[in-house]
Amino acid sequence: MTTRRRAGLIAIAAGLVSGAMAAQAPPPGVSYRFTYAQAGDSTVAVEIGWGSPLAEPRSLVMPRAIPMGYGEQRYDAFVTDVRAFTTDGRSTAPEREEGPRWRLNAGSTRVTYRVDLQRMERDVRAASDASRVREGYLGALGYSVFGFVDGFELRPARLRVEGPNGWPVFVTLAPSWPVTASAVDAGAADFYELADGQIVMGPKAVIRRLADAPAPLYLAGYAEGAVDFDRVGRLAATAFQRVTDYFGTVPVTHYTVHQELLTPLSPQHEYGMSMEHLGSSTYYLLASTGLTAASTADDDARVLYNFAHHMAHAWVPKRAYGHGYFPFQWELAPVLDSIWFAEGFGQYAAIMALAPGTPDAAAYRSGMLNRRFRPNLANAPAFLKRLSLVDLSRVASTRYAEDFRTGRLVFSRGGLMAAAIDDRIQSESKGSKSLRDALRFLVAWTARERRAFSNDELAALIRQSTGVEVGAVIGEWLRPLP
């Protein structure tokens, strides 16, 4: 082989290797900075940077849809002072586009804006959908403050969070203990993970590390009324252990329970709803409803189930889901035909996770089905009963909590379907299999296939994991109620 030919082959090989490496290289990251500069301020500053100048115009987009919120909030209404910057430091005010968008010109490398949290809490009546700043405290939902550059949603994100001097800072994406007053840096695989996190800071925030296993578990609390956070923490740790035992896997590297007990801003503001996230869950309660020494065993049981319910959603549907949950549509609430699976099967999993820890597991299961699900079917208005479960799910996609008649009925029908499927599996397998085996399989299947399953696939997937045919059970529960 001649030296020239050898050199040519080496160059070709190097080019192939370089091309392969380029093809495999991860997309460039996006950096986020969240700054709450001074105690008492009503606004926070956000900066988003992406390194290379934009080759063409793109849009800055603020979310309106809320993951598993089944509704919309116009978070763009609280965004002000939007500025786009180029590499030489020149800045412009981006043109506002239709919807929750601002036009970023070619050449832009970063954008800054402010979010008015005080006005957000005032105008968004559902406490579970709003970020807030109160005396000595800030609590922020990622999707209410972070926008994204259209087309960059799948890029990894880096986040830096800064608070006022002396304020402890806690970020659910990178929890640490003991909490410090220094800036916190965190990373996220993509915009969804970034937006699904929370930021907590301030001298009135209560931060605790509850357990080291099955994954580090944290409590981030804030209370404007009496509460025993030791008691809350014990229940949270119990719920987390039992739910992870049920699913048999720990898909998170850490988990945070974030509970706020709040004095109402007005009679029109709504409290009591909770939300689930990839690595955390959030609970927004009235200040007068905290657990105290006067709380009863029934109060403990109620709180334990609420924790388990929203923790279970870290598996179903955050990691086993129907169409529309991932990839998520941020500008408009997606129309979903499987809320009954996400909410009903997730709640049933929580019931079955807690049952072994009760004196009579069968009685606990029966009691929860009778209290949690069956009354909602009996009391539902006739026009909702006449809807198929898929149609009801689509209706609830945009008004689950706003008109909770839809939310209650869709999760209750889904929960009772899950119970009926579980009964069929255990009966046909003579107790060797249960719905738990199917849910574990679905989580593993989703991680492997990296996609949603359709309603039509569910029976086959359950049969594959348990050997039991449940298509008739699913079909019966999908039909309108008699």
Give residue 36's pLDDT: 99
Quick one: angle between helices 229-247 and 435-449, nearest 10?
80
User: Please, which residues have CB within 8 angstroms of residue 425's CB and are 6 or more apart in sequence?
Assistant: 433, 434, 435, 437, 438, 462, 466, 468, 470
For residue 135, how many C-alpha atoms fall within 13 Å in the half-sphere facing its CB? 2
Omega prior to 156 cis, within 30 of 0: no
Tokens of 24: 């495999």
Cis previous bond, 28, omega within 30: no
Token pair in block for residue 211: 């357990």
Q: How many CB atoms lie within 10 A of CB 479?
A: 10
Assign residue 355 a region (left: φ > 0; alpha: ψ between -120 and 50; beta: otherwise).
Answer: alpha
Q: Determine phi and psi for 338, rounding to 5 degrees.
A: -135, 30
In sequence order, which residues have a C-beta less than 8 Å from that of residue 384 and are 6 or more positions away? 392, 395, 405, 406, 409
**Each residue of 244-295: pLDDT tens digit?**
999 999 999 999 999 999 999 999 999 999 999 999 999 999 999 999 999 9
110 strand-pairing partners: 49, 85
Residues in the chain: 482
Judge contact between 417 and 477, C-beta under 8 A: yes
Please work out, in degrees rounded to the nearest 5, the angle formed at the alpha carbon of residue 31 by the alpha carbons of 99 and 219.
90
Sign of CA dihedral 308, 309, 311, 313: positive
Sign of torsion, CA 23 24 30 31? negative
pLDDT tens, residue by residue, 349-363:
999 999 999 999 999
Per-residue burial over 391-428, b if 16 or more Cβ lie within 10 Å, else e, is ebbbbbbbbbbbeebbbbbbbbbbbbbbbbbbebbbee
pLDDT at site 24: 59
User: What is the rounded distance in angstroms from the CA atom of residue 93 to the CA atom of residue 82?
Assistant: 6
Tokens of 175: 């929890």
**Ranges of the chain whose pLDDT falls below 70:** 1-26
Nearest C-alpha neighbor of 251 from the set 276, 284, 282: 276
User: Do 257 and 229 contact (CB within 8 A), yes or no?
Assistant: no
CA distance 97 to 61: 10
**pLDDT at position 341, please?**
99
Cα 116 to Cα 298: distance, rounded to the nearest angstrom: 39
The whole-angstrom distance between residue 217's C-alpha and the CA centroid of its chain comes to 17
CATH superfamily of 205-314: Neutral Protease Domain 2 (1.10.390.10)
Query: In whole angstroms, what is the distance from residue 94 CA to residue 322 CA?
Result: 37
The SS3 call for residue 167 is coil
Within 10 Å of residue 383's Cβ, how many Cβ atoms?
8
Instruction: Determine which helix (DSSP H) or strand (DSSP E) holds 5, and give its type and residue range.
Output: helix 3-24
Domain covering 26-198: architecture: Sandwich (2.60)
d(CA 369, CA 379): 15
- pLDDT at 27 (0 to 100): 74
Cα separation, 30 vs 52, whole angstroms: 10
Picking from 143, 128, 197, the residue whose alpha carbon sits closest to that of residue 407 is 128
The overall longest dimension of the chain from CA atoms, in Å, is 90
What is residue 233's predicted lDDT score, i.e. its pLDDT? 98
Residue ranges per structural domain of the chain:
26-198, 205-314, 339-478
How many Å apart are CA 382 and CA 119, to the nearest integer? 39
- C-alpha–C-alpha distance, residues 212 and 368, integer Å: 30
Between the alpha carbon of residue 354 and those of residues 49, 83, 249, 345, 431, the distances in Å are 45, 50, 16, 14, 19
What token pair was written down for 448? 């492997």
